[in-house]
Amino acid sequence: MRRAVTNCAIASGRLRFELRRDGRVLEPASPKHPAPQLVCFSSGEMTSFELTLALGDAAAQYRIRGNEDGHLESKRVEVAR
Protein backbone atom coordinates (compact mmCIF):
# COMPACT_ATOMS: atom_id res chain seq x y z
CA MET A 1 0.00 0.00 0.00
CA ARG A 2 1.29 3.47 -0.88
CA ARG A 3 2.03 5.65 2.12
CA ALA A 4 1.80 9.43 1.78
CA VAL A 5 3.20 11.44 4.64
CA THR A 6 2.96 15.17 4.27
CA ASN A 7 5.44 17.50 5.93
CA CYS A 8 5.14 21.18 6.75
CA ALA A 9 7.20 23.58 8.85
CA ILE A 10 5.87 24.27 12.37
CA ALA A 11 7.93 26.44 14.75
CA SER A 12 11.37 24.83 15.12
CA GLY A 13 10.31 21.29 14.17
CA ARG A 14 8.59 19.52 11.33
CA LEU A 15 4.94 18.54 11.52
CA ARG A 16 4.11 15.31 9.75
CA PHE A 17 0.55 14.24 9.13
CA GLU A 18 -1.34 11.46 7.42
CA LEU A 19 -5.04 11.54 6.65
CA ARG A 20 -6.96 8.32 5.97
CA ARG A 21 -10.52 7.70 4.85
CA ASP A 22 -11.89 4.16 4.50
CA GLY A 23 -8.39 2.82 5.20
CA ARG A 24 -6.86 4.70 2.25
CA VAL A 25 -4.28 7.46 2.55
CA LEU A 26 -5.54 10.75 1.11
CA GLU A 27 -3.37 13.28 -0.67
CA PRO A 28 -3.69 16.92 0.42
CA ALA A 29 -5.88 19.10 -1.77
CA SER A 30 -4.05 20.74 -4.64
CA PRO A 31 -4.93 22.77 -7.74
CA LYS A 32 -5.05 19.44 -9.61
CA HIS A 33 -7.42 17.88 -7.00
CA PRO A 34 -9.22 20.78 -5.25
CA ALA A 35 -12.22 18.79 -3.95
CA PRO A 36 -12.61 18.56 -0.15
CA GLN A 37 -11.25 15.40 1.45
CA LEU A 38 -13.65 15.51 4.42
CA VAL A 39 -17.14 16.95 4.82
CA CYS A 40 -18.85 18.11 8.04
CA PHE A 41 -22.59 18.83 7.93
CA SER A 42 -24.56 21.17 10.22
CA SER A 43 -26.51 18.10 11.42
CA GLY A 44 -23.29 16.83 13.06
CA GLU A 45 -22.68 14.11 10.50
CA MET A 46 -19.30 13.96 8.81
CA THR A 47 -16.99 11.82 6.74
CA SER A 48 -15.26 9.12 8.79
CA PHE A 49 -11.51 9.74 8.98
CA GLU A 50 -8.29 9.11 10.85
CA LEU A 51 -5.66 11.85 11.16
CA THR A 52 -2.20 11.09 12.57
CA LEU A 53 0.05 13.99 13.65
CA ALA A 54 3.72 13.83 14.63
CA LEU A 55 6.29 16.51 15.38
CA GLY A 56 9.87 15.98 14.26
CA ASP A 57 11.44 12.78 15.56
CA ALA A 58 9.28 12.65 18.70
CA ALA A 59 8.45 9.17 19.97
CA ALA A 60 4.77 10.10 20.32
CA GLN A 61 2.16 10.64 17.66
CA TYR A 62 -1.39 11.83 18.10
CA ARG A 63 -4.30 10.17 16.36
CA ILE A 64 -7.69 11.80 15.85
CA ARG A 65 -10.58 9.66 14.61
CA GLY A 66 -13.97 10.90 13.53
CA ASN A 67 -16.99 8.81 12.62
CA GLU A 68 -20.16 9.44 10.63
CA ASP A 69 -22.26 10.55 13.61
CA GLY A 70 -19.78 13.30 14.50
CA HIS A 71 -18.04 11.53 17.40
CA LEU A 72 -14.35 12.46 17.72
CA GLU A 73 -11.73 10.46 19.60
CA SER A 74 -8.10 11.41 20.15
CA LYS A 75 -5.23 9.53 21.70
CA ARG A 76 -1.49 9.61 22.07
CA VAL A 77 0.34 6.73 20.37
CA GLU A 78 3.92 5.79 21.29
CA VAL A 79 6.04 4.84 18.29
CA ALA A 80 8.69 2.12 18.72
CA ARG A 81 12.07 3.30 17.47
The predicted-structure confidence for 31-57, as pLDDT tens digits, reads as follows 887 888 888 999 999 999 999 998 887
Q: Please state, rounded to an integer, the average pLDDT across all residues of the chain.
A: 82
pLDDT at 68: 94
pLDDT higher for 35 or 7? 35
Neighbours of 20 (CB within 10 A): 16
Long-range contacts of 31-36, Cβ-Cβ distance < 8 Å, separation of 24 or more:
none
Task: Write down the pLDDT at residue 36.
Answer: 81
pTM recorded for the entire structure: 0.74
Q: Which carries the bigger pLDDT value, residue 71 or residue 8? A: 71
Q: What is the CATH number of domain 6-25+36-78?
A: 3.55.40.10
